[in-house]
Structure 1
Amino acid sequence: MTDRAIRNLEHLRRSASTARVLNLLKVADEHGHTAEWAENPMFQTPGLNASLIIKHRLRRNETDSFAGRRQVATKVVLPIDATDLKTGGRFVFVNQIGFERVMLAAFGLPSDHADIRTLRLMDQLPSLDPFLLREQLRRGGVFAAPCYFAISEADLERMSAFVEKEIEPLVTLSMGGNAVSAGSTARMAGKILSNDPGDRLDALRATLRLEPEQYQEGIFCWKGFLYYKWCLNSLMSDIVGVADEVNTVKPYGPVDAGARDYINRGRGVLRTNIMKTCEKVSQTLRYYDDAYAGLTREGNPIAFRDFLLEAPNLFSRLGDQLGAIQHIVSFWRFRFDPKAAPVTADELIDIFMDFETGLMGRDFDDMARELMA
């Protein structure tokens, strides 16, 4: 385990995005007294179950930590002092060179331990959004408690206005066509977005005709689609800008004929795939819009309820798609910041290849058709 301190952990805890950071220390602080946290932990090892797990953009001096080339790694951060995050922490990258040796020395975990498998499941993901993460872990046989799959407070604040606008038709329906106040919409939005699984809204449950045991799952799935819609909406202006910059970016230094040919070909292919991926996400989200319109315009709560309860079938692919887009925007802005070092032809080719790999094999028309059949 490296002794290098991690800076700004306190800032990270306050402002981190849901897709980038899984704050298990906060989960332990808020739910460590509950039976669900104790009985269904994400990790069996106490230190790991109170860590911060981060999707980290690798700096050039960090790429040698891995046997293969990659742009993003999964960083596990152990705070030095859990009560004072300003003191920093120690970290390890999942699947870095010597990872198994480090985990054995630090935690006594053999290579086949369940916690090692869980970390590797996380490392396979493009982001840590809770809807994608839950489905990935479930497929891997890890059934962690619901308290682990919350949207960050920072993202909840950023989402609130968007969600209020989205649910206004439902509030109008619930009030029988009476004038809708901003306060009533905000209260219902708060109930839907609440990270407290015990925070029930009987009127909403009755509208959706959900049994008490179905309510938590239904609201979790509804929150998932609202989160994905908000993410796409927030990313669109940035992703269009990045796609345009892909067409014009020029590498620094000499460029041989082979590299020039690859870069010229890669520009068009990458830009097309970026925009195609955005359209595929939009297309799947339209299934949600249609089901929601059936509830608010046609008064059909059963179809919307059934859609929500079947929705996890789409979370993995939606999360993969949006995770790839988020990575492209985030890494491009990081690497092509005006203050960053110039990008050579070889590095630009690596970036293009990484982006193309992230966007490959993510056509889910068949999955969507199966769900809607």
Structure 2
Amino acid sequence: MTDRAIRNLAHLRRSASTARVLNLLKVTHEHGHEADWRANPVFRTPALNSALIIKHRLRRDELDAFHLRRQVATKVVIPIDSDDLKTGGRFVFVDQRGFERMMQETFGLEPDHPDLATLRLMDALPSLDPFLLREQLKRAGIEPAACYFSISDGDLMRMVQFVEAEIRPLVTLSLGAGIEAVGSTRRLAGKILSNDPGDRMEALRQTLHLKPEEYQEGIFCWKGFLYYKWVLTSLMSDVAGVADAVSTVKPLGKVDRNAREYLDRGRQVLRDRIIAVCDDASRTLLIYENAYKALTEQARPGAFRDFLLQAPRLFTRLGEQLGAIQHVVSFWRFRFSPGAAPVGVDELIDVFMDFETGLADRDQELGQRFLAA
């Protein structure tokens, strides 16, 4: 592991979990004394339960590690010394070639071990956003302690209120406006946010002519779209602030000509990419919004049915986009907060390269433009 990689790992140790990182080591240090943490871990294997789980955008030389082509992988990092991350760590990608053999040799886990199933559930998500991760695990009957998910009660309440406002047109279409509709809106919001297999809103499923498994997966992704719409709305002011700060941040110490050229070019590229990814995410959300309006305003359930059928693919795309934006905003808050240590030249270059990689278009080949610098 290179010096730069070690520094990045040390930063992950101090920072909180984000859409890109599930910091189980930090959770262990802060909550390992609690009974709930001991009784309801994410992983049964102690080493995995103190690992760093990272959504990693694959570099070109890493693509051959997988049987199928993919752009983002789930990286499991096991620190060599949990008290000193400068010593680095060992890592494996979930479902890379030889994954089950490596997990058996390293941890003694058989292919049917529950921890491997949990890792694959995480890998199936486009980001490790705590809300969606919690929902994904609950769907599989896995309910770890609340300390693993950095979701405040206030955020959950705001999310429920946002969903209620979003689905009100659907309830009004069915019942009209009035006191009964208000109660029905709350009940329907509860059903959408529920993971109870018996709470599938059968009337809507039958209206849309969907098979139970299609409908259940579509509803989960609809919930994801609602959450991501809320996230994007909540992030916009922070995103604008970070985009402006990228243009003006200056590193500590002497900047040679090559570094200056890289940083000057990087500022504009990153600002453009941040704006482009937000715009692209908005366009993806517009697909949902148009389908929903067709259902509620034009009485065309077929359009919403088509949306639910393609929702899993769109959900993955949207999750990767917003996961990248959330990572940029959360890391910037952490590293460039008031009172934080000044950032040196090499570290600022690392940050720019990390952001550029995360914000790169999934079909774009990352070539010489940044890596050569």
Report if aligned partners of 1:54, 1:76 keep a CA contact under 8 Å in 2: yes
Partner of 2:296: 296
**CA 117–256 in structure 1, closer or farther in 2 if over 3 Å, else same:** farther
Map of 2:62 onto structure 1:
none
Which stretch has the larger CA shift, 124-133 or 284-293? 124-133
Letter in 2 for 1:246: V
Q: Retained in 1: the 8 A contact 2:294–2:300?
A: yes
Deviation at 1:163, TM superposition (A): 1.0
The equivalent of 1:169 in structure 2 is 169
Aligned equivalents of 1:91, 1:198: Cα separation in 2:
46
2:221 matched residue in structure 1 = 221
Please report how far the alpha carbon of residue 299 of structure 1 lies from its aligned counterpart in structure 2 after TM superposition: 1.0
Q: Note if 1:47 corresponds to 2:71.
A: no
Number of residues of Structure 1 aligned to a counterpart in Structure 2: 301
Query: In the alignment, which residue of structure 1 is the partner of 2:329?
Result: 329
Q: Name 2:353's counterpart in structure 1.
A: 353
Counterpart in the other structure of 1:35: none
Which residue in 2 is equivalent to 1:190?
A: 190
After superposition, residues 20-59 of structure 1 pair within 5 angstroms as: 21=22, 46-47=44-45, 51=49, 55=53
What code does the residue aligned with 2:171 have? V
- CA gap 1:48/1:164 in 2 versus in 1, 3 angstroms: farther
- Equivalent positions of 1:1-373 (< 5 A) are 21=22, 46-47=44-45, 51=49, 55=53, 74=76, 97-99=89-91, 107-109=107-109, 119=119, 127-129=127-129, 146-147=140-141, 154=152, 156-178=156-178, 181-362=181-362
Once the 2 structures are TM-superposed, how far is the Cα of residue 212 of structure 1 from its aligned partner?
A: 4.1
8 Å CA contact 1:130, 1:149 repeated in 2: no
* Residue number in structure 1 paired with 2:5: none
**Cα pair distance change 1:148/1:336, threshold 3 Å:** same
Residue 145 (structure 1) shift: 6.0
Preserved contact between residue 52 and residue 77 of structure 2 (Cα < 8 Å): yes
Question: 1:261–1:208: structure 2 CA closer, same or farther, 3 Å change rule?
Answer: same
Root-mean-square deviation (CA, aligned residues, Å) is 4.7
Query: Once the 2 structures are TM-superposed, how far is the Cα of residue 73 of structure 1 from its aligned partner?
Result: 7.0
Q: Distance in 1 between matches of 2:230 and 2:140?
A: 22
Alpha-carbon distance in structure 2 between the residues aligned to 1:124 and 1:26: 26
Q: Does the 8 A contact of 1:221 with 1:309 survive in 2? A: no
TM-score by length of 1: 0.65
Deviation at residue 309 of structure 1 after TM alignment? 2.0
Contact 2:45 2:115 in 1 (8 A): no
State the distance in 2 between where 1:225 and 1:296 align: 17
Once residues 324 and 354 of structure 1 are traced to their aligned partners in structure 2, the CA distance between those partners, rounded to angstroms, is 10
Structure 1 residues 337, 284: CA separation in 2 closer, same or farther (over 3 Å shift)? Answer: same
Gaps of 5+ in 2: 1-15, 25-34, 56-73, 93-100, 365-373
* Cα distance in 2, alignment partners of residues 248 and 274 from structure 1: 15
CA contact (8 A) 1:76 1:92 kept: no
Cα deviation 1:107-137 (Å, max 9, x = unaligned): 32499x9967985995898731489989xx9
Q: CA deviation at 1:159?
A: 1.0
Are residues 127 and 149 of structure 1, via their aligned partners in 2, closer, same or farther at CA, if it must alter by over 3 Å?
farther
Q: Is the 8 A contact 1:28 1:49 kept in 2?
A: no
d(CA) in 2 for partners of 1:28 and 1:225? Answer: 33
8 Å CA contact 1:126, 1:327 repeated in 2? no
For the residues of structure 2 that align with 1:201 and 1:252, how far apart are their CA atoms? 58
Deviations 1:131-174 (A, max 9, x none): 9989xx9xxxxx99644599966454341121111111111111
Cα deviation for residue 97 of structure 1 reads 3.6
Structure 1 pair 180–277 and aligned structure 2 pair: CA distance change class (3 A): farther
Residue 315 of structure 1: CA displacement? 2.1
Q: 2:54, 2:190 → 1: CA distance?
A: 30
Aligned partners of 2:172 and 2:181 also within 8 Å: no
AA partner of residue 333 (structure 2): R
Percent identity among equivalent residues?
Answer: 55
Distance 1:145 1:163 in 2: 19
Residue deviations 1:240-264 (CA, integer Å, cap 9, x gap) = 1100100111111211121111111
Amino acid in the other structure paired with 1:305: R
- Superposed displacement of residue 344, structure 1: 0.8
Equivalent residues of 2:171, 2:181 under 8 A apart: no
